[in-house]
Structure 1
Amino acid sequence: MKTEAILKAACSFFKSEEAYDKLFQQFRKKYESLGRIGGTVPVRLFSAHELEVIARFYGTTKQALVKKGVIHVVQFEKQLQETKFAAIGLKQLLDNYFDEEIISKKQRKEIEQQQLRSLLQELERSYPSLKDWFRYIQSVTKEKRWITRIVEKDFTYFHYLIKQVAKAREQLPSTPERLPMFSQRITADPHAFDIHTDLGKLLLEVLTFYHPTWPNNEVPQTTESINELLRMYGIYRDDLLNFVTCSGLQAQTKEGMLHPVWQAAVEMNSVQNVPLRDLLSIDRMFPASGKHVWVVENSGVCSALLDVLPSTPIISTNGQFKLAAWIVFDLLAKEDCIIHYASDFDPEGVGMAERLLHRYAPQLRLWQMDVAAYHKSNPVKPIDKERLKKLERMEHTTLLPLVKEMKRMKKAGYQEALVKDMIQDIKNK
C-alpha cells in the first residue's frame, strides 16, 4: 500500500474515536513546545472510557495506564510501528490528521519575524522618509509589539496608516498649526491624528524617533509631554483652553515692541489667563521689575498673595503644567530670571517640582518646599499606598530630604498654610 493510502487509512482510523482526537491535540502541543516528538501526556486529562480506547491501542489495560500516570509520546510512535500503519511516523500522521504542517513555536516565531521583515522592507522601499524608523522597530520588536500586531493582523490597514504618517512627516507645518487643521490637511479627517487612535499613536512614535533631542527615544505618555513633543514640530492640540495665569510680567512681540495688552495689565495690576494662542506671538517675557518670578500651583494662593502684593511678578499653573506654562517658563529662563516654585506637599506637587529642577537648574529655586515648611503646613491628609509609590521615583538630591519625611509621615500638606511666610519671602526680595 502506498504511503498516501496508509496515511488516509490511519487518519480515518484515529478520527473514529474522540479519545484519539483528544490525545493527538496533546501530542500537537508537545511538538509545538519541544520542536520534536517527545514529552509525556498526563492520563488525568482523559475519561475512563477514553483511557480504555487508548489502552486497546497499546494492547494493555486502562488500570495499567492509570498506574503509569502518563502517556509517553515516543512510546506511542513505537507502538504505531507495530500496527498496519508502520510505514508512517507520528509526525507525518499528525500533519495529515490536522491537515497542516505542525511546526514548533520557535519555528513559527522565526517565520512570523521573517514575514514581518519582508513586509516592513516592502514599506521601506515605498516610503523612504521612514526608512530608519522601519529598521528601528525591527530591532526593538518587543517594545513595539502593538505596532507589529497591526502588521500581522491587517497589513492593508497598516499600509494605510504608514501612508498617512509618511505624508505627515513630509509635510510638517512651517508655521504653527492646530492638530485638527493639520490632520484635515494631511488626511481630510480632522480627528484622524487624535492621540487615542492608531494613527495618532503611530504619529507620536515617528515624531519621537526623528526628534534629535527628545530624551531616550521614549514615546510621551502624559498629556503634558505629548503636547510638548507636538509643539516642537509646530503642532498644537488646543490653543484656547490651554492657558496659564500671569501677573506682573511684561511681554515683547516678535516685532520687538512691548505687547500693549501685557503693558496695560502691568499698569493696572491686572491678572491674565493667557491662552496658548496668544503666547505664540510672544518673543520675550520678563518681570515688570527685578529678576524674580514666583510660581504657585494653586490659583487661590496666587490670589491671596496678590491681595497683599498686587505688583508681584507671579504665575499660577492651576494644577499640572499645561503647554502654555512650559512656554512661559522657557521664555523666562531665556531672560535668565530666577524662578521660585512652590507646590503642595503631595506626590504630584513634588513630582512637578522635580521636573522643573531637571529642566531649569540652576535658575529654579524651591520656595517653601523643605522639611521645615512641610511640617509647618500641618500635614493631616493621608496619602494612599498607590500615590506614595510615586515618591519612590523621585531622585533629585534637592528634594530627597523632603521626600524621605513625606514617606515617613504618609500625609499631604498644602500651600494655603504657608501664605504668610510666602508673602514675607516676596517682600525680602
Structure 2
Amino acid sequence: MNESEQEELEKIKKECLAYFGQSPVWKKVLRGFREKYSSYGRFGGKVVLKNLKSQDIEELEGFFGKSFHGQKSVTVSAEKFRQALEVSRYKNMTPEWLLENFFEEPLLGKQEQKLLRQQEKERIWENFRKSYEGMPIETVEESLKNIVKDSENREVTEWERLLRLGAEMYNHLPYRQSEKLYLAVFAAMLTGNPHAFDNGTADGNFLYQIIQMDMESRSIKIEASEIFPAYKRQKSYLMAGIMLDDISNYAMLYQVQAVKKDGSIHQGMAGFAREQHIVQVPLAVISEWELLRCSQDEIYIVENPSVFAVLCGKEKEKNTRRAYMCMNGQPRLAGLMVLELLAKSGTKVYYAGDLDPEGILIAQKLSRYYKGEFHYWHMETEDYEKCKSEEVISPKRMKILERITDDRLKPVVERIKAYGTAGYQEMLMEETK
C-alpha cells in the first residue's frame, strides 16, 4: 500500500468513527455487541433495541437498507451488521476494529479479562508487600488480604486502594505510639477527611475490621454484651487507641482512689479525694487504670448530675469519705469501664435512678452488668410515693416496664403502673443520705 492509499484509508477510518459516533442509537448497538464479545469471546449474538425514536429508525434504515417503519423495537444480529458493513463505504473496517476504536480499548473475552485481572492483582500484591516490608502489617498481611476480598464488580484499583488503606490503618493505630486519638483526628491524619471513618460508612466499617484483626493478633478478646450492645465496638476502638466522638468520654467521681496498671496510686485522684472535690475524669485516663478503691469498699451511684452535686456537697460539709459517682443518664463506655474497675476491688454498688420506665430499665441493666454486689438505693415503693410527679407516662413508655424482670424492682413498677406518672431523683434530695 502506497502513501496515497494509506492516507485514503486513514481518512475512511476517521469517517467511519464519525459516522457511528453521530447518533446515540449506534452507541447502543456497539455497546451491546461489545458486551456480547465479552461473553462469547467473538463478534456474535444479537442486540435488541427498544423504545426507538423516529430519528433512530432512520439511522438504522439508512445503514441496513431495510425498512423498520412503525417498529418500536428492532433486533440487530452480528451477522447482519457485518454484512451491512461489508457493502458500505467502510467495507475495509471489520466489526472488531470498529468496537476497539469506537470505545478506545482492546476487545477481550471473559477468560482473557480474568487472566489479565489476575496478572494485574499479582503485580499489585508484590508491590504492596515490598512497600510495607518490615512494618507491623507485614505480620498479618495475609489476614488483610482475606478481609479485602475481591469480586468481579470491584475495580482492581479499588482493591489496591483498600489494601494500602488497611495497611496504613493498621500501622498507625494510635496505641502503637502509646497515644489516644479521637476518631475524627485519626481519619483526618490518614485521609485528610475527618469524617472518612464515621460509623456507617464503608471505610468506617473497614476500620473496625482492621481493629478486630489487630486485637486477634494480640490475643485480645472482648465479649459482646447483650445488655449494652455498643460496648464491644466502643471498647475495641479504645483498645486501639481511638476514642469515638459519639460517646460520653468522661466519668464524674467523688472520693474514689485509682490504681494504675503499674500498681502505683494515681496522684491526681488522690489529690481530689484529699481536697474533697468532684473530679471529671476523661476516658483516656480511665483506660490507664487497673482498678478503683473506695472507702469502706462501697460507692453510691446516681443518675442525675444535680443530685450528685448535692450529695457530694453534703459529704464535704460532714467531712465524711463516702464515695459517689454520677452515671449521667444512659450508661456510656466511661461509666461501664468504671464499673469494671470497681468490681476488681470488690466494691459494693448502691444505685439510685429516676423512677420512670427509662430510669428503672437503666438500673436493671447496670445490676446485670456489674460483676459484684449491687443494691438498688431509694428505688422502693415508699420512695416513689415521695417523688412522684404530675408527668403522665405515655402508653409507649409504659411498655418499657414490661421488660423489667428483677423481683427487687417489681413492687415499684406496679406502683408506677397504678399511678401512671414518673418519679424523679431531685425530689428525694433530703432522703438520699
TM bracket (short chain): 0.5 to 0.7
Are residues 1:416 and 2:419 paired?
Answer: no
Contact 1:249 1:286 in 2 (8 A): yes
**Equivalents in 2 of 1:367, 1:105: separation in Å?**
71
Unpaired runs of at least 5, structure 2: 198-202
Partner of 2:176 in structure 1? 172
**Equivalents in 1 of 2:364, 2:146: separation in Å?**
36
Cα separation, partners in 2 of 1:47 and 1:261, compared to 1, 3 Å: closer
Cα separation, partners in 2 of 1:277 and 1:108, compared to 1, 3 Å: same
**Equivalents in 1 of 2:357, 2:10: separation in Å?**
71
Contact 1:276 1:324 in 2 (8 A): yes
**Equivalents in 2 of 1:104, 1:299: separation in Å?**
69
Alpha-carbon shift at residue 90 of structure 1 (Å): 4.2
Aligned length: 382
Cα separation, partners in 2 of 1:41 and 1:121, compared to 1, 3 Å: same
Partner of 2:48 in structure 1? 41
Contact 2:292 2:345 in 1 (8 A): yes
Unpaired runs of at least 5, structure 1: none
Partner of 2:345 in structure 1? 335
**Equivalents in 1 of 2:313, 2:237: separation in Å?**
37
Q: SS in structure 2 opposite 1:295?
A: strand
1:295 to 280, 295, 301: 301
Partner of 1:93 in structure 2? 98
**Equivalents in 1 of 2:265, 2:175: separation in Å?**
34
Partner of 1:124 in structure 2? 129
Cα separation, partners in 2 of 1:210 and 1:79, compared to 1, 3 Å: closer
Question: Please, which moves more after superposition, 361-370 or 54-63?
Answer: 361-370
Question: Please, which moves more after superposition, 258-267 or 271-280?
Answer: 258-267
TM, length-normalised to structure 1: 0.60
1:245 to 219, 244, 252: 252
Alpha-carbon shift at residue 54 of structure 1 (Å): 0.3
Alpha-carbon shift at residue 286 of structure 1 (Å): 2.3
User: 5 Å matches for 1:17-416?
Assistant: 21-29=24-32, 31-32=34-35, 35-36=39-40, 37-38=44-45, 40-44=47-51, 46-64=52-70, 66=71, 69-73=72-76, 75-81=77-83, 83-84=85-86, 90-102=95-107, 115-116=120-121, 118-128=123-133, 129-131=136-138, 133-141=140-148, 152=157, 165=169, 167-168=171-172, 172-173=176-177, 176-179=178-181, 191=189, 196=194, 206-211=210-215, 212-215=219-222, 228-229=235-236, 231-233=238-240, 242-252=249-259, 270-275=277-282, 279=286, 283-291=290-298, 293-306=299-312, 312-319=322-329, 324-340=334-350, 354=365, 360-361=370-371, 380=392, 416=424
Alpha-carbon shift at residue 332 of structure 1 (Å): 0.5
Cα separation, partners in 2 of 1:95 and 1:276, compared to 1, 3 Å: closer
Contact 1:32 1:105 in 2 (8 A): no
Cα separation, partners in 2 of 1:223 and 1:8, compared to 1, 3 Å: farther
Q: SS in structure 2 opposite 1:16?
A: helix
**Equivalents in 1 of 2:264, 2:85: separation in Å?**
98
TM, length-normalised to structure 2: 0.60
Structure with greater Cα Rg: 2
Cα separation, partners in 2 of 1:370 and 1:194, compared to 1, 3 Å: farther
Q: SS in structure 1 opposite 2:69?
A: helix
Alpha-carbon shift at residue 335 of structure 1 (Å): 1.4
Q: SS in structure 1 opposite 2:424?
A: helix
CA RMSD across the alignment: 6.0
Contact 2:300 2:324 in 1 (8 A): yes
**Equivalents in 2 of 1:323, 1:21: separation in Å?**
59
Cα separation, partners in 2 of 1:179 and 1:41, compared to 1, 3 Å: same
Alpha-carbon shift at residue 135 of structure 1 (Å): 2.9
Cα separation, partners in 2 of 1:24 and 1:139, compared to 1, 3 Å: same
Q: SS in structure 2 opposite 1:63?
A: coil
